[in-house]
Structure formats: structure tokens, C-alpha cells
Amino acid sequence: MLFSVLLPVYVAVARKINPALVMADSLVLLALGSTVQSGVLMYLPMFAIGVALAHAWPRLSSWAAAINGSRLGWMAWGAALIVSATLTLSTWMLNPLNLGLGALTLPLILVGVVGLIPVSAFSPLARWMLSSRPLVWLGTLSFSLYLTHEPIVVAFGHLLPTHPKLAAVLAVCCAFPLAWVFHKTVEKPSHRLAQRVAGRKSPALESDTRNETLDSRPKP
């Protein structure tokens, strides 16, 4: 709840401060939160980074266009993918070394995740692969699934404590239909209401029509 209430504050701040500075400060707070095990300091900076990334998106689009116009663009995207994917594995790579860097692994993971977002959005090959119908459908439901899956998993865990595998299968079978219903009845109408209040149409809302326009998706 606190995260959602503070989201408008993040948006207001992102318009006033350089997105790179917002991200850097958020990573410092994230490292501090990871050190002292503070949920607020660990998760609020993640929301701030997301807002900063959205604010920087036009600039990232320009950079991506320049990369795609280069003959070595595929190498740049490949390098970005390798570096970002490696950073997401920081916990498993650094912890066994006993270097005392446990608090830094979460910021490194987040940097890797943030790096994967423009790769997925702008790399022609990645866009082509991620435009398959099953992945588009999963992406459409992802936020609703995130919001609704936990009560289902917990419920089946309590109902079938001695059959965890069966509980997991049943939870998956129930989670996706519920997420679809939630998306159609709550998430999508909420987006439309928000855009009516804002007085403009959001490109994010138009993503729901991607299943009907996959024939025009970019080819590698």
C-alpha cells in the first residue's frame, strides 16, 4: 500500500531530477536496505528506478535507434544481454566466494534486470522472439498474475500440506484463469479510467491489441 501511495510522488520527483541521479541514489538506498534488512529501503527504491526508467525512455529510444542503425548493433545488444544476465546471477556468483559483498548483490541484480528491459524492447531479435503469441499473452497477464497468485498458492498450501506437488499444480491451474478475469475486470478498466482522467491515451494500454497485430512484428 505504501508503495502505491508514494508512486505519484516518484513521478513528480522524476520530472524534476535527472533519471540517472534517481537511479544512482536508489541503488545506494537499496544497498543500505539490503544491509539492514529494511523492506521499505529495499522495495521503495525499486519503484523509484522504474519511474526513472520510464522518464528516460525517450532518450533510451534515441540511443537504441542509433545502435540499430549501426552495423555492429547486434554485437552491442549481445554484449548488453550477456552483462545484464550475468548481473542478475550476482547472488549465486558472489556469495560462495565469501567476500562480504552480500549487501551489494541486490543492487547488482536490479541493474541487470533494468539492463534487460531495453534489450527486450529495442533489440530486433529480442523483440521478434518476445512477440510470439504465448509470450505476449503471458506479458499481458503478468501484472494481474503478480497481484493475485499469492492467495491461491497459500490457500492450496494450507489445503494440501502433505501433497506439495499437487498443491503447486492446482495453484498454477487456478492462478492463470483468475489472473485473466482480474485483468479483464479490474486491471484493464483501471487503465482506461486512469487515461480518461489524464486526458490522453497511453501506449501501454494499446499493448492489449498486440495479439491482433503480431503479423507486423519486427523480423530479426
- Tens digits of per-residue pLDDT, 168-188? 999 999 999 999 999 999 999
Assigned domain for 75 exists:
no
| Residues whose CB is less than 8 angstroms from the CB of residue 129 and which lie 6 or more positions away in sequence, other chains included | 135, 220
Task: Name the 3-class secondary structure at 15.
Answer: coil
Assigned domain for 205 exists:
yes
Cα dist. 44→35, 41, 86, 116, 204 in Å?
A: 15, 6, 24, 20, 22
Indicate whether 207 pLDDT > 60. Answer: no
Indicate whether 213 pLDDT > 50. Answer: no
Indicate whether 46 pLDDT > 90. Answer: no
* Least confident interval from 53-57, 90-94, 193-197: 90-94
The domain containing residue 136 runs over which residues? 132-220
Assigned domain for 101 exists:
no
Higher per-residue confidence, 208 vs 89: 89
Retrieve residue 4's grid coordinates. 502505491
Assigned domain for 40 exists:
no
Q: Rounded to two decimals, what is the model's pTM?
A: 0.74
Cell 505519484 appears where? 8
Place 37 in a pLDDT band, splitting at 50, 70 and 90. confident
Residue 104's pLDDT is what? 77
Contact indicator for 41, 33 with CB cutoff of 8 Å: yes
Average pLDDT, the chain: 83
Question: How many C-beta neighbours within 10 Å does residue 58 have?
Answer: 8
In the chain, the number of structural domains is 1
pLDDT digits (tens, 9 = 90+) for 114-165: 999 999 999 999 999 998 899 999 999 999 999 899 999 999 999 998 998 9
Assigned domain for 152 exists:
yes
Place 99 in a pLDDT band, splitting at 50, 70 and 90. low
Assigned domain for 125 exists:
no
Assigned domain for 155 exists:
yes
Assigned domain for 83 exists:
no
